[in-house]
Amino acid sequence: MRYRSTRGLAPQLDFEGVLRTGLARDGGLYVPAEIPALTKDAIAALAGLSYEDLTFAIVKPFVGGAFDDFALREMIASAYAPFGHIARAPIVQIGPNDFLLELFHGPTLAFKDFAMRLVAQLFSASLEKSGGRMTIVGATSGDTGSAAIEAFANVPHVEVFILFPDGRVSEVQRRQMTTPAAENVHALAIEGDFDTCQALVKALFNDHAFRDTVGLAGVNSINWARVMAQVVYYFAAATALGAPFRKVAFTVPTGNFGNVYAGSIARAMGLPVEKLVIATNQNDILHRCLTTGIYRPEAVRPSLSPSMDIQVSSNFERALFEALGRDEAELRALMDELGKGGFCLPQTALRALRSVYSSGRASEEETLATIARVHGETGLLVCPHTAVGLTVAAQARRPGIPMITLATAHPAKFPDAVEKATGIRPPLPLRLADLFERSERVSRLPADVTTLKNYIRSHLEAFA
């Protein structure tokens, strides 16, 4: 499998190349040169497989010959072994034709475990083949960092440094980053906000000498391998509910567009997905774009669903690329305009987007009301991100088509919002019940690039 950049000016790469590269050198995102299509019979044969066997079947064509089948199966098994549910991504019925796809049974209680744990295995295997080490540095507002630290703990050949804004992540998120005892993962509390952390990471990547000496790599949501891993659960849910013989629809609580974009890949591979519904909170740039055709970032307003508080939705570029008929020059022109404040989509591209996606927005009040309603109707507690999804799903539902809403985090990861809506503080699952007793290990650093570089260098020497 070959991968090309959405902007057309970076070299094509194979799977391992895109795994390790992340952002393309021309500023674009890597996408498969061709999306593998599955026949109806092939999709029918996926029903009832274990999640691990299904993952193998879906990711194999994307990974190509990078690893032998046995090795790939072993990586998949290690990735999902610590999940707290044998189905890995179970579906739960919450209404006559409404379902929740529970993606929070991984170790850090959010859907990001699905992709991050597989990516950690793939990284390690790739480095095992080529020799050498890599240093992963990332900034997080919570869920990505905890998933990365957990996924890479004790993974050979990789050292991980995660920057988070001191005092601005939830206690559960912080403890998930600071309590793993593995020596190759480092949680860094930075004096500043998320943007400060992100600016520091960017500065490291822009220092090419530093980047090369430490073998810097990123695992943010634009990494193709993360998208790939997320395609799997769309197949799991749809085939369990009757695909390929019945159409389904998905509603996806969306921030950086990685998760919902993975759904569009499943659709392009042949899964009969009637619609992918983009659900946004009050930071509704994607909903506005689908409604008006104008994509213009505004200031972020903090919400009850913080993992969706974004200004620019990075993976949206991949959807635009498809909507523009894979016209790289036209995409580059739009991205130039975005640099100057925003762009207006050509009518054909807007029509193409609307044929795959629809969208909706949930206010803060609606989010709380949905948490309370779902609790009253089903006894289930849902996290605020999931509630944004359920609010929008209720408007987007079509008769006869099962609506599957992605439950992106466990309610106990965002207990304050759940308690505010229902009066009930959701308890952590048993396997994490001692999280608040575990000892924490964290370094506090000022928002200074030189200090950060020195910190990373000295820790790499210590663990070499």
Ligand X SMILES: *Cc1c(COP(=O)(O)O)cnc(C)c1O
Active site residues: 112
Nearer residue to ligand X within complex by CB, 43 or 278: 278
Rounded to the nearest 10°, the torsion over CA 125, 461, 176, 101 is -20
CB 366 within 8 A of CB 203: no
Site for ligand X in 339-368 (CB under 6 A): none
Nearer residue to ligand X within complex by CB, 67 or 104: 104
Nearer residue to ligand X within complex by CB, 184 or 313: 313
Q: How far is the CB of 246 from ligand X (least distance, A)?
A: 26
Residues 106, 218, 258, 411: which binds ligand X (CB under 6 A)? Answer: 258
Q: How far is the CB of 48 from ligand X (least distance, A)?
A: 27
- Residue closest to 28 by CA, chosen among 300, 354, 324: 324
Residues 121, 221, 282, 422: which binds ligand X (CB under 6 A)? Answer: 221
Nearer residue to ligand X within complex by CB, 233 or 257: 257
CB 205 within 8 A of CB 218: yes
Nearer residue to ligand X within complex by CB, 135 or 259: 259
CB 32 within 8 A of CB 261: no
Q: Does 263 interact with ligand X (rule: CB under 6 A)? A: no
Stretch that binds ligand X, among 40-48, 198-206, 251-259, 371-379 (CB under 6 A): 251-259
- Which token pair is 447? 């928002």
Nearer residue to ligand X within complex by CB, 20 or 385: 385
Q: Does 307 interact with ligand X (rule: CB under 6 A)? A: yes
CB burial class (10 A; 0-12, 13-18, 19+) of residue 286?
Answer: buried
Residues 108, 220, 256, 367: which binds ligand X (CB under 6 A)? Answer: 256
Nearer residue to ligand X within complex by CB, 165 or 258: 258
- Residue closest to 119 by CA, chosen among 30, 8, 23, 230: 230
Residues 110, 115, 269, 418: which binds ligand X (CB under 6 A)? Answer: 110
CB burial class (10 A; 0-12, 13-18, 19+) of residue 208?
Answer: exposed
> How many residues make contact with ligand X (CB under 6 A)?
16
Q: How far is the CB of 308 from ligand X (least distance, A)?
A: 5
What is the DSSP pairing of strand 91-95 with strand 98-102? antiparallel
E-assigned strand segments in 312-399:
343-344, 357-361
Q: How far is the CB of 165 from ligand X (least distance, A)?
A: 16
d(CA 3, CA 332): 18
Q: Which amino acid is at 125?
A: A
Q: How many Cβ atoms from other residues are within 10 Å of residue 191's Cβ?
A: 13
Q: Does 255 interact with ligand X (rule: CB under 6 A)? A: yes
- Which token pair is 107? 């170790």
Site for ligand X in 372-391 (CB under 6 A): 385
Q: Does 143 interact with ligand X (rule: CB under 6 A)? A: yes
Q: How far is the CB of 360 from ligand X (least distance, A)?
A: 14
**Using CB under 6 A as the criterion, what x/- string covers residues 405-444 for binding ligand X?**
---xx-----------------------------------
Stretch that binds ligand X, among 232-240, 252-260, 316-324, 329-337 (CB under 6 A): 252-260
Ranges of H-type helices in 81-189: 112-130, 143-152, 171-178
- Which token pair is 335? 């991205």
E-assigned strand segments in 282-338:
294-295
Q: Which residue has tokens 């197949």?
A: 235
Stretch that binds ligand X, among 128-136, 257-265, 422-430, 450-458 (CB under 6 A): 257-265
Q: Which residues make up the interface to ligand X (CB under 6 A)?
A: 110, 112, 143, 221, 253-259, 307-308, 385, 408-409
